[in-house]
Structure 1
């Protein structure tokens, strides 16, 4: 009876906190990701119209990822100094400038710079919102709230291309999508700055540190009007924080990079595999769509699993499913019924990806220091982004030098290596939910 009452109160608490976070976190995330999803397919088109060749046009499309990669650590510094709320607002404003530069770009160099600017802004926005939630969402439903955040971002990236296609059909203008993104960024700034005071809506929580003991974080009144706890001048910087946490970053961080790598590979491998099998565009789109639908359907279930049973129960099956799925796919290229295997294994990869929804953000929040999580989260996000950014280049290079089957098999090995890393290091660095909850109640 007591367990049921606890679960019920926990569910109400989760709904309450998620509702209060909607104007500050979930709403802006949806708007930002819709804009990104709408603009991503447009960038190579804009580049070619400015005279770029195919290789340069592809480079323009990757500058968003490059910006996120090189911007995550500086983002941790910015969030520490000016707070989460202002960091998100400024990041959206800088992205707005980047979108204007895209619309009025006189040549490819300006388009490259503007895409990089939007990527840098995206990194800052991502670190700031994760730091905000790390400080304020109770440990007991942290994974669910972050899985919902991951699902919100996926929904935006899914809807963005369809909205862009509709705008292009209505207006016949490529830049209409850019103006949509600009308008959405204005909405992001308004929600972040004019929405309910986040410090009052969701105060800083007492949450357990990843190593086991509970570290109290007092709900300090903001000293700078940012809606964030005042930053003490004695706080360690991002480089000192990275060095201090080098043990966990070099172990669990590399496992996170491996998971990010296989998740990124799914997006590029599935279309390439269909092409290599000689399938038509409609059939390939169907397989990719089914895989994506399975992925999206599981995003909240991932959080439920992590909050109830522990982080390992989502990350380990996700890596195993995707690792085995890619290895099996690599062996089916020339077999009878290869398209059917392609569909079946696409579903397996979607299951694995869906189970991992929000897992890397949750692990980052678990591991970050309670008093000032942003510097650590910047380093954590850099490893995560690097894994995802390097994978397409690796797949391309191995396919060119060997075969696509070899490249896909290598991705599968990376997935299994990530599973080994999570199995080895999560029990060491992240407490199970039951022990963390008992520690919190003991302190209270």
Structure 2
């Protein structure tokens, strides 16, 4: 299963560097997932405020995703990624040192800004070096690395927290964030000229305002952003905030016990991601996007009713497999719609609109959990997936060149 993933990495050094950078960075991010909500809760705050600690990171990503995409089109991708890695490290160190809830919010925002730079920069690089024919496999290699790193992080982060306390994973994240910046500085080549050549061959680069107007008036682009928005709500609001608290309240699980199922799920995720890339390139984007989002929604139904550790493990596995199957498709769909010479602004806009969910999700689901309980928040997450799947089914066209025109809602 993983052989196509490694083959793709070996055949393209730029892809290899991009995956290495995002893998190191997101491994660090994964380390803090089992402890973030618990660490925030130790300040004696409400669940809504716990959600704010998660979402403020997304606010940094939200506010800087589009500007970083525009800046990447202007000055190049590599510089953006290098600075982003350093900012991630600074924000995480400060989080580990803080004794104040208010300061924690500020430092999480700094980390989110760094994440916006790393993610937007590396995704723009992939848009530069891929074509519609191989974009699914390229994105699957990247997304597989991304999700695998985030997935194995909680297991290690939970163990670190069990032995050294809730603050220790933040320092480990800082070290990995700095490592990602150094890898980008010394190893990552600049790909801006590749996009410029492609734009010239297509008749010229599309201006930033025209490109943004074209994207925001595209039903397909806005709907794929809506799907990524719901994924962000689910990941940051449910998986990062509500699920750990529910697992501790209902099942009495430790950080290590909470993190282990997601680590197991990430191994299955790694196995399914290469299949996703092949399916996306062979059959088109829609046939992969739609069922994978339904499966993701189903995982929250299982989380909501899980009354035992095996059931909790099963829910995490379903979530991980859904992410592996559908992981490559949304970004490939968005990149397909990029106007000539506007890869940076396209991926920046895609990330920005998706990251609204990162900001809204933890606060909204935290509020629902405060008012009606954490189980209600998980059912609400399921409902969001169902709504966006129906809209995408009926309104979003296929973007793969060989499958385009296959129809909407068929």
Partner residue of 1:130 out of 123, 128, 137: 123
**CA distance in 2 between partners of 1:187 and 1:259 (Å):** 28
**TM-score if structure 2 supplies the norm length?**
0.78
Q: How many residues align?
A: 394
**CA distance in 2 between partners of 1:314 and 1:90 (Å):** 34
Instruction: List aligned pairs for 1:91-130, cutoff 5 A.
Output: 91-102=84-95, 105=98, 107-130=100-123
Three-state SS of the structure 1 residue aligned to 2:400 is coil
Deviation at 1:154? 2.2
Return 5+ residue gaps in structure 1 as ranges: 1-9, 207-215, 220-230, 437-444
Instruction: List aligned pairs for 1:409-428, cutoff 5 A.
Output: 409-427=379-397
1:197 aligns with 2:189: yes
1:141 aligns with 2:110: no
1:26 aligns with 2:8: no
Tell me if structure 2 keeps the 8 A contact 1:17–1:137. no
1:253 aligns with 2:225: yes
CA shift in 2, pair 1:254/1:93, >3 Å: same
Tell me if structure 1 keeps the 8 A contact 2:338–2:346. yes
Which residue is 1:378 aligned to?
A: 348
Partner residue of 1:187 out of 179, 183, 193: 179
CA shift in 2, pair 1:41/1:59, >3 Å: farther
1:86 aligns with 2:79: yes
Which residue is 1:387 aligned to?
A: 357
CA shift in 2, pair 1:406/1:181, >3 Å: closer
Deviation at 1:287? 5.6
Instruction: List aligned pairs for 1:26-425, cutoff 5 A.
Output: 26-40=19-33, 52-55=43-46, 59-102=52-95, 105=98, 107-164=100-157, 172=164, 177-195=169-187, 197-199=189-191, 203-204=194-195, 216-218=198-200, 235-237=207-209, 241-248=211-218, 249-264=221-236, 265-266=238-239, 268=241, 270-271=243-244, 274=247, 278-281=250-253, 291-324=265-298, 326=300, 347-425=317-395
**CA distance in 2 between partners of 1:328 and 1:164 (Å):** 24
**CA distance in 2 between partners of 1:17 and 1:217 (Å):** 24
Tell me if structure 2 keeps the 8 A contact 1:256–1:360. yes
Deviation at 1:421? 2.5
Three-state SS of the structure 1 residue aligned to 2:59 is helix
**TM-score if structure 1 supplies the norm length?**
0.73
Tell me if structure 1 keeps the 8 A contact 2:243–2:303. no
**CA distance in 1 between partners of 2:40 and 2:309 (Å):** 34
Larger CA Rg, structure 1 vs 2: 1
**CA distance in 1 between partners of 2:246 and 2:167 (Å):** 32
Three-state SS of the structure 2 residue aligned to 1:298 is helix
Which residue is 1:431 aligned to?
A: 400
**CA distance in 2 between partners of 1:312 and 1:396 (Å):** 32
Deviation at 1:263? 4.7
Tell me if structure 1 keeps the 8 A contact 2:77–2:124. yes
The CA deviation string for residues 56-100 of structure 1, in whole angstroms up to 9 with x for no partner, is: 566434432221122212222322222111111122233344345
Deviation at 1:433? 4.2
> Once structures 1 and 2 are overlaid, which stretch shifts more, 280-289 or 118-127?
280-289
**CA distance in 1 between partners of 2:191 and 2:15 (Å):** 11
Deviation at 1:292? 4.8
Return 5+ residue gaps in structure 2 as ranges: 406-410
Over aligned residue pairs, what C-alpha RMSD do you find?
Answer: 4.0
**CA distance in 1 between partners of 2:181 and 2:159 (Å):** 25
**CA distance in 2 between partners of 1:328 and 1:44 (Å):** 21
**CA distance in 2 between partners of 1:119 and 1:110 (Å):** 14
Three-state SS of the structure 2 residue aligned to 1:69 is helix
The CA deviation string for residues 228-262 of structure 1, in whole angstroms up to 9 with x for no partner, is: xxx98x8324xx54333222244443243234434
